[in-house]
Amino acid sequence: MTDVQTETPVTPAAAPKKRPIAWPLGLAGAVFVIVGSCLSWSYDGSILNNLSINFYPGGLQILAIIVAVVSLVLLVLDKGKLGWWLDTTAGLRSLGTGLAFFMVLVLAAISVESDGLINVNPGGYITLVGALLLAVAAWLMPLRHGLRDMSKAKSPAWAEIAAIALLMAALLFTAAYALGLDDAWLFILCLVFIATIAVGLFRTGAMSWVSHAGQRHRKVLTLASFAVAFLFPFTQDGSDANMSIATSVLVFAATAMGLNIVVGLAGLLDLGYIAFLGSGAYVAATLSQSAFATIGWKPPFLVVVLVGACVAALLGLVIGSPTLRVSGDYLAIVTLGFGEIFRFAMFNLDGNNGPNLTNGPNGIPGIPDLELFGFNFGAVHHPFGIELGRFSNYYFLLLVLTGGVILVFSRLNSSRIGRGWVAIREDEKAAEAMGVNVFGLKLLAFAVGAFLAGLAGTIKAHQDGAVSPDQYMFLESAFLLAAIVLGGMGTIAGVLLGATILKLLPEKLRFFSEYRLLLFGITLVLMMRFRPEGLVASRRRQLEFHEEDEKLADEVEHQLVEEAK
Amino acid sequence: MTESTEDKPLTAMLEVRNLEVAYGKIVAVKQISFSVEQGQVVSLIGTNGAGKTTTLRTISGLLRPTQGEIWFQGERIDNVAAHDIVTRGLAHSPEGRRIFPRLTVEENLLLGAFSRRDPAGVRTDLDSAYDLFPILGERRKQPAGTFSGGEQQMLAMGRAMMSRPKLMMLDEPSMGLSPIMMKRIMSTVTELQRQGTTILLVEQNAQAALKRADYGYVLEVGQIKLSGTGRELLVNDDVRKAYLGED
């Protein structure tokens, strides 16, 4: 995988206890899984995309084979030179355990979907046994000590770039594949597979190499991510089902990224952020060509975007200037109230109480599709002979928007203003003594955040085709905040990931919808217990939550030095 | 020993006149007046609760006075915003150091230079801060919270220096430090004075503060009880009894 340039050859410290049986056992397990997966798993061919044919593995069987092959690779590497770098034991443990869990779920799925375990064919059991063997073998293997520091692994630039490209391609393929699964069991099993592989790669340290490579080639990584996002609609065969989910994910992600400026950078808890998205959407709706629009002025969309964003920013200033002088809890309460006031105002501005701006609870339906520079967003287009439907058009527009918001976020983050925000977040009083204009910068964060949300709102109105007050409930603000906390406050990748998870899972797991909030709550509690800094943690927050961990402090310091070079 | 400085002409770098500061109904500082001349080290000593920190916080604009005037370099600043005061060349190293523990040394120092807009000059000053405190240079990428008290104090002083102040106010730099570290910090104060920075030093440790002071004021329950040159105050009987633990 890598050309390793070592300065001094260091032999790994002697392992504490060798169990010679572990390695062959693992090998046998992997082989069992592969063989078992080639055989039929289920008697019933009508479920789980047909796992019933011998020597013609279906989707789930291929997933099992992939895990087994990765395990085989790790087993081989364990004996070789790369074993000094990769924590193969930890990787195998998570792969084995994950695969065993996967197989148990498969058998459960077969017995639930069909009629009981009677429908499981020998192949299924062989694979389960193989997975269990692999897991047991991995737990028997000694933990590795004296591993080399992955951050010191250097490899040729082309290899690193190729690895990034490969990973991104895999990401695109996986996303397209997972979204194509319309059976809930298949989708969940696919998620288990993704989690198993991801945790396995992280545990071995392979991902740490990739992330170091990514830091060295940041531009390549950014470009590749956008290329993947850009190519996604082309994998959908003109189907709008997944694209409608993807566009709503993008609206959510762009809004969450705007809130990330307020919460993640400036440290201001805003519980009514959805109102800014709403005000942008309502501005776009009332100024649109809809027959229900209440304002006679019909400016071109680019003007509407500006007006919507400015109205939202103005609202941000109005709500911010009296409240940002108070700290923490008060701000949260005031913004919470503001969010609800916005919703009720939209509900009541129906002509009975005051002017008719919003048509009250009916909202403004019939908002026509956008038309920019002669490009109709409602029409189906065929670039390169590939059909792209209505949602794909909006998807591209929203992708540009999201990219813009990310750009604003990262530029602000590394600017003088960003440093001021960090200082305010860390210690407001000290920041003031340093000459940071605390009130001014807080207000700016609020206004910028509101502006970006308003921007997203104007597009959202056209994409949804209608606005109504109940789209902007408090729950939506809470979800936005949850996406940030879950993903990793103040980070870009984390918030994108959090937003994707929070928007995608409920859409794909519709049959869970009654338990959605329960599951969501449990997830948040577990996260706060085990990984309070979020899935993707910024270094600073890691320190905040694990202050006692000296090893981590050393690592962080090392990373910082690395970055400074 | 002079009593007050009522009608002196405005020649001093910092001039505080009849300053009164209250927290609600509790008056913490009552009608105090003092001045700091250019190039001097002036000490403000007093026990806990005497109003020393309140005075500094009011001068740097973090608190608003209920009465009185503050003049800095011939301009009235008692109604100017805190961030503007820093820009005018008055730095404040707050009580308890208040460094940013999760930020690195370098990030802390750069925040000290927040009011400045000359990146090249900031770079130079960063280097001179590292020259003055080599330990900061060695650990520039380390989170500041991992430092000892003395190192944190060095960082706090370095951070205050980064705004290139004409007048630096230090609030109890010796608090919680070992005698050796305290000596080190105090000699830095002298060094800063030599480099041309005027210093207003607030201390509970009267001995250390007065030894290096050109002039000193003794604050008691919000009022200035005594003033004089550092030497005068050091040998003053009342001061010796109250602050130097001698009979």
Same domain, A261 and A299: yes
Q: Does A21 touch chain B (CB under 8 A)?
A: no
Q: Does A438 touch chain B (CB under 8 A)?
A: yes
Count of C-beta atoms within a 10 Å radius of residue A524? 13
Mean pLDDT over A476-489 rounds to 87
The CATH number covering residue B193 comes to 3.40.50.300
- Put simply, the answer to whether B86 touches A427 (Cβ < 8 Å) is no
Residue A275, domain member (yes or no): yes
**Is residue B6 a part of any domain in this protein?**
no
Q: Are A243 and A176 found together in one domain?
A: no
A145 lies in the same domain as A263 = no
A36 and A184 inside one domain: yes
Map residue B215 onto helix, strand or coil: strand
Tell whether B123 is within 8 A of chain A (Cβ): no
pLDDT at A56 over 50: yes
Specify the range with the lowest mean pLDDT, choosing from A220-224, A305-309, A316-320, B113-117: A220-224
Backbone angles phi, psi at B32, to 5 degrees: -95, 150
Q: Is the pLDDT of residue A11 over 70?
A: no
Give the gyration radius of chain A's Cα atoms: 26
User: pLDDT tens digits for A273-317?
Assistant: 999 999 999 999 888 877 777 777 778 888 889 999 999 999 999
Q: Are residues A176 and A246 in the same domain?
A: no
Contact: B112, A427; criterion CB under 8 Å: no
Cβ A435–B62 below 8 Å, yes or no?
A: no
Which of A435, A453, A474 is the last residue before a domain boundary? A474
Mutate to test the interface with A, among B108, B114, B122, B166 (most CBs of A within 10 A): B114
- Tell me if B7 is assigned to some domain: no
Predicted confidence at residue A455, as pLDDT, reads 92
Interface check A115 vs B, CB under 8 A: no
A139 & A195 share domain: yes
Average pLDDT over residues B26-48: 91
Confirm whether A514 is domain-assigned.
no
Overall domain count for chain A? 3
Whether residue B9 lies inside any domain: the answer is no
Span A119-171, pLDDT tens digits = 778 888 888 888 888 888 888 887 777 666 666 666 777 777 888 888 888 88
Kindly report, residue by residue over A354-368, the tens digit of the pLDDT. 787 787 788 888 788
pTM to 2 decimal places? 0.81
Least confident of A103-107, A149-153, A327-331, B190-194: A149-153
**pLDDT of A440 strictly over 80:** yes
pLDDT band at A559 (very low <50, low <70, confident <90, very high): low
Within a domain: B128: yes
Is residue B195 included in any domain, yes or no?
Answer: yes
Average pLDDT, stretch B126-147? 88
A539 at the B interface (CB within 8 A)? no
Q: Mean pLDDT across chain B, nearest whole number?
A: 87
pLDDT greater at residue B5 or residue A280: A280
Question: Is A94 inside any structural domain?
Answer: yes
pLDDT for the residue A306: 93
What average pLDDT does range B6-31 have in this prediction? 83
Higher pLDDT, A293 or B95: B95
Indicate the SS3 state at residue B226: strand
Residue of chain A whose alpha carbon sits nearest to that of B112 = A434
**The predicted structure's pLDDT at residue B42:** 94
pLDDT of residue B200: 94
B40 touches chain A (CB under 8 A): no
Of B81, B86, B146, the CB nearest to A553: B146
Distance from CA of B127 to the nearest CA of A (A): 16
Chain A residues touching B94 at Cβ < 8 A:
429-430, 433
Q: Are residues A550 and A422 in the same domain?
A: no
Q: How confident is the model at residue A238 (pLDDT cuts 50, 70, 90)?
A: low
Q: How confident is the model at residue B69 (pLDDT cuts 50, 70, 90)?
A: very high
The pLDDT of B191-210, averaged and rounded, is 89
A67 half-sphere exposure, CB direction, 13 A CA radius: 40
**Single-letter amino acid, residue A145:** H
Q: What is the largest CA-CA distance in chain A?
A: 82
| % of chain A at pLDDT higher than 70 | 88
User: What is the distance between the alpha carbons of residues B89 and B85, in angstroms, rounded to a whole number?
Assistant: 7
Provide the pLDDT for residue A8. 42
Tally of domains within chain B: 1
Buried b (16+ CB within 10 A) or exposed e, B144-182: bebbeebbbbbbbbbbbbbbbbbbbbbbbbbeebeeebb
**Are A464 and A472 in contact, with CB atoms under 8 Å apart?**
no
Residues A75 and A215 in one domain: yes
**B134 domain residue, yes or no:** yes
The pLDDT of B157-181, averaged and rounded, is 90
Predicted confidence at residue A332, as pLDDT, reads 86
Closest alpha carbon to A256 in A463, A68, A456: A456
Q: Which of A507, A514, A535 is closest to A179 using CA atoms? A: A507
Check whether A10 has a pLDDT greater than 70. no
Q: Are residues A208 and A251 in the same domain?
A: no
Given A229, A260, A286, the domain boundary residue is A229
> What is the residue range of A122's domain?
22-229
Quick one: pLDDT at residue A473? 85
Provide, for chain B, the percentages of residues in helix, strand and coil under a 3-state DSSP scheme, each rounded to the nearest 5. 35, 25, 35
Q: Residue A554 has what pLDDT?
A: 62
Q: What is the pLDDT of residue B3?
A: 44
Say how far residue A557 (Cα) sits from the centre of its chain. Answer: 27
Chain B residues within an 8 Å CB radius of A427 = 98, 100
- Residue A557 falls within a domain, yes or no? yes
Q: Say yes or no: A179 and A247 in one domain.
A: no
Mean pLDDT of A536-547: 63
Of the candidate ranges A63-72, A258-267, A510-519, B66-75, the one whose mean pLDDT is the lowest: A510-519
Q: A258: burial class by Cβ within 10 Å (0-12, 13-18, 19+)?
A: buried
In this prediction, residues B221-242 reach a mean pLDDT of 87
pLDDT of A371 over the 80 cut: no
Would A504 be classed as within a structural domain?
no
- B103 to A422: CB separation less than 8 angstroms, yes or no: yes
- Name the residue range of residue B215's domain: 14-243
Is A243 found in the same domain as A220?
no
Say yes or no: A240 and A199 in one domain: no
The last residue of one of the domains, among A162, A196, A229, is: A229
Number of C-beta neighbours around residue B82 at 10 A: 24
The more confident residue out of A562 and A136 is A136
**How far is A268 from A481, CA to CA, in rounded Å?**
11
Q: Is residue B5 part of a domain?
A: no
Q: Is A432 on the interface with B (CB under 8 A)?
A: yes
The residue among A422, A424, A427, A434 with the most chain B CBs within 10 A of its CB, best to mutate, is A434
Predicted pLDDT of residue A317: 92
